[in-house]
Amino acid sequence: MGRVHAAALSGRCSVARLACVYDPLPAAAEAAGAEFDVPWTTSYDELLDRVGAVAIASPTGTHAPLTAQAAAAGRHVFCEKPISLDRATTVATVEAAEEAGIVFQVGFHRRSDPDWAAAAARIRAGELGEVTLFRTSLRDMTPPDPAFLSGSGGFFLDVVVHDLDVARWMVGEVVEVHAHGAASDPAFAALGDIDTAVTVLRFAGGALGVIDNSRSARYGYECSTEVMGTLATARIDAPHVHGVEWRTPGLASRDLARDFEERYPWAYAAELDAFARAVRDGSPPPVTGRDALAAFDLALAADESWRTGRPVSMEVPA
């Protein structure tokens, strides 16, 4: 993700720009600096001295301490999700950012994707009417390395959390979560994890939601959403990488995205530009620390539901 964000800052962003890269490993820092033609450092303190804002895309366990250090130095922070795999640490980090008065944005990129943003705006404008059903799918083409899985926080915190954030953002607060999961690959079961899940939601407004997720769809990367209302239905399908359709007798074929990087290049640029505008103009970031905490809590509830086989009720914020 560090390379994804650096590439966006170097070539796609219109407001934000890459000023310096940091990595504790000298070879990695130097290589990134050369690739993106910017200064590099192995000292986080030096990085904070050079810039007014940081984009943190380091291993999950370092997100919270790096954010807290930047906040203490008065630097604005864009941080990849999750803030932490521990709730108490997540809360403490969000509060530290709030007390420091910095802009703190978390990387739930779908809120900045043109397709999802356009649909959400029309829903908020009342064009959909009352939401009755929310459905979304997130399916990876191939599973990650097992070495990554051991520190990912589990399927719900690593994968489903994106859809849970979209659910809150597009429809509203969730009052009940009921999740079902399975491991089609024995490697996942050996880690006490799953690779496929269906999560059923009840929203405070009365709507229902269904989320399906897979780590190994095999055919490609898919992310799609549908929101049904009393006046209309919004549907966002997985777009094709190119506009060409190849036709032969009895068959028409088009390419599919292979991963999130190929699907969302402009969303990653747009979320960083939104962060830069929040820093520059004081506009609200699209995803706050409190939003990330809410999605985290829903993911924990989904994990609990899967393990216990029972639905979990959620407290709705006042």
pLDDT digits (tens, 9 = 90+) for 174-217: 999 999 999 988 888 888 899 999 999 999 999 999 999 999 88
CA atoms within 13 A on the CB side of 163: 31
Which helix (H) or strand (E) segment holds residue 155: the answer is helix 155-155
Q: Which residue has the higher pLDDT, 152 or 233?
A: 233
Measure the CA–CA gap between 272 and 202, rounded to whole angstroms.
Answer: 32
Q: Is the pLDDT of residue 236 over 90?
A: yes
Q: Is the pLDDT of residue 60 over 80?
A: yes
* Surface-to-core class of residue 3, CB atoms within 10 Å of its CB (0-12 exposed, 13-18 middle, 19+ buried): middle
Instruction: Tell the residue number behind the tokens 């964000």, with chain if given.
Output: 5
User: Against a cut of 0.85, is the pTM above it?
Assistant: yes
Q: What's the pLDDT score for residue 88?
A: 97
